[in-house]
Chain A
Amino acid sequence: MTPLFETLLVLVLLLNLVALGISRIRALIRTVALQGIVLGAMPLFVHEHIDVRVVLVSLVTVAMKGMVIPAMLQKAMRDVQIKREVEPLVGLIPSMMLGATATALAVALAQFLPLAGEHIVGLVVPTSLATVLTGFLLLTTRLKAISQVLGYLVLENGIFIFGLLLLEAMPLLVEMGVLLDLLVAIFVMGIILNHINREFSSLDTRQLSTLKD
Chain B
Amino acid sequence: MLAIGLILFPVLMAAVAFAIPWARPRIWLLPVTGAVHLALVAAVWRRPDLAAGTAWLALDALDRLVLLLVSVLFMLCSVYAMGYLGYRRGRSSRVFCGCLLMMLAMMSLVAWSHHLGLMWVAVEATTLASAPLIYFNRTARSIEATWKYLLVGSVGIALALLGSFFLAYASWHAGMPTSLILEELILQAPGLSTPWLHAAFVLLLVGYGTKMGLAPMHTWKPDAYGEAPGLVGAMLAGGVTSCAFLAILRVYRVCAAAGEVEYAARILVLMGLVSMALAGVFMVGQRDFKRMLAYSSVEHMGILIFGIGIGGAATFGALLHLVNNALAKGGMFLAAGNIHRAYESKSTEDVRGAMRRLPVSGSLFLVGFIAVTGSPPFGPFLSEFAILNGALGSGRFVVSALFLLFLLIVFIGMGATVLSVVQGRPSPQARAGGYREGILTAAPGLIFMGCVLMLGLYVPGPLRAALLEAAALLEVRP
Contacts and interface: CB of A to CB of B under 8 A. Distances in A.
A174 B121 contact: yes
A165 B172 contact: yes
Contacts of A189: 150-151
B165 to A, nearest CB: 5
A161 to B, nearest CB: 10
A152 B151 contact: yes
A199 interface: yes
Interface in A159-213: 159, 162-163, 165-166, 168-171, 173-174, 177-178, 180-181, 184-185, 188-189, 192, 195-196, 199-200, 205, 208-211, 213
A159 B165 contact: yes
A115 B150 contact: no
A211 B144 contact: yes
Contacts of B115: 171, 174
Interface string B117-156: 1101100110010011001001011011111101100110
B147 A181 contact: no
A52 interface: no
B379 interface: no
Contacts of B180: 169-170, 174
A115 B173 CA distance: 7
Given A148-B151, A171-B117, A199-B143, A211 B223 contact: yes
B18 interface: no
Interface in B436-458: none
B140 A188 contact: no
B169 interface: yes
Interface in B403-436: none
Contact of B222 (A148, A209, A211): A211
B135 A165 contact: no
B188 to A, nearest CB: 12
Q: A interface, by DSSP: helix, strand, loop or mixed?
A: helix
A163 B158 contact: no
Contacts of B162: 132, 159, 162
B28 interface: no
Contact of B141 (A166, A170, A196, A210): A210
Nearest to A183: B128
B389 interface: no
Contacts of A173: 118
A176 to B, nearest CB: 9
A208 B222 CA distance: 14
Contacts of B148: 208, 211
Given A116-B173, A152-B151, A155-B158, A181 B222 contact: no
A13 to B, nearest CB: 18
A159 to B, nearest CB: 5
B143 A213 contact: no
Nearest to A136: B155
A209 B124 CA distance: 25
Contacts of B223: 211
Contacts of B222: 211, 213
Nearest to A166: B168
A114 interface: yes
B172 A159 contact: no
Nearest to A148: B151
Interface string B161-201: 11001101100110100111000000000000101100000
**Count class of interface residues, chain B:** 35 or more
Given A114-B173, A169-B179, A211 B145 contact: yes
B291 A178 contact: no
Nearest to A199: B140
Contacts of B120: 174, 178
Nearest to B127: A185
B286 interface: yes
A122 B178 CA distance: 20
A178 B147 CA distance: 21
B131 A192 contact: yes
Contacts of A116: 169, 172-173, 175
A87 interface: no
Contacts of A155: 155, 158
A156 interface: yes
Contacts of A132: 162
A169 B117 CA distance: 11
B150 A168 contact: no
A26 B178 CA distance: 40
Contact of B168 (A115, A156, A169): A169
B147 A166 contact: no
Contacts of A73: none
B9 interface: no
Nearest to A176: B121
B384 interface: no
Given A162-B162, A177-B118, A211-B222, 18 more contacts: A113-B195, A114-B173, A114-B193, A152-B151, A152-B158, A155-B155, A156-B158, A162-B169, A163-B165, A169-B168, A174-B115, A185-B150, A188-B128, A189-B151, A195-B135, A195-B143, A200-B140, A208-B147
Interface of A: 113-116, 132, 139, 145, 148, 152, 155-156, 159, 162-163, 165-166, 168-171, 173-174, 177-178, 180-181, 184-185, 188-189, 192, 195-196, 199-200, 205, 208-211, 213
Interface of B: 115, 117-118, 120-121, 124-125, 128, 131-132, 135, 138, 140-141, 143-148, 150-151, 154-155, 158, 161-162, 165-166, 168-169, 172-173, 175, 178-180, 193, 195-196, 222-223, 226-227, 282, 286, 291
